[in-house]
Structure 1
């Protein structure tokens, strides 16, 4: 899961289509502001487990309420920045913060060690 090799939908950072991340039934679709909202109820689950996906209004929605969709089925066509991009960027930022802290600790240790020598 760390290196995204599980074969899920939407493996690319930037794409021209968005694929459904689960199988189920489209419960509702609506537009608010400049965003599409797609609510999907997973197969064998109640409405309380519904997953809502938010996409930009500049593309074309390819599903409608009541449609059955499969995992990795294209449900939206348009420019998309997938969640995997944000996950990887947050991991990179966290790694940079940890390395920065380690470097500061190293510098502080070096300074303290030099002062004890004299």
Structure 2
């Protein structure tokens, strides 16, 4: 087997063993029930692992139905020094968080509680579309 073939095989093996996940940094807040009506689905119940998208993601309703994996990366203020649980959550975008929204993603209270202490109110996050 030639050197070039061996190099190509090794490169192929390395590529197949690594997965690249790009996360985007942002912030998250939370809102409380009732979760209907929503901008995307009206009075349809979509459960509680849901979120509202700010203008960063909304894209004229294109965000409706998209799912995002979200993980808390730290506090946005010194009031809650360790708000993160270490877990991540997957949410479905069902609503719009209008201009003035305090976060990139406004999570349902239940989704926020999976990844952070509710007392934090607003947290830094990494998120990516799944």
**Is the shorter-chain TM-score for this pair beyond 0.5, marking a shared fold?**
no
Question: TM-score by structure 1 length?
Answer: 0.25
Question: TM-score by structure 2 length?
Answer: 0.23
Structure with greater helix percent: 1
Pair member with larger Rg: 1
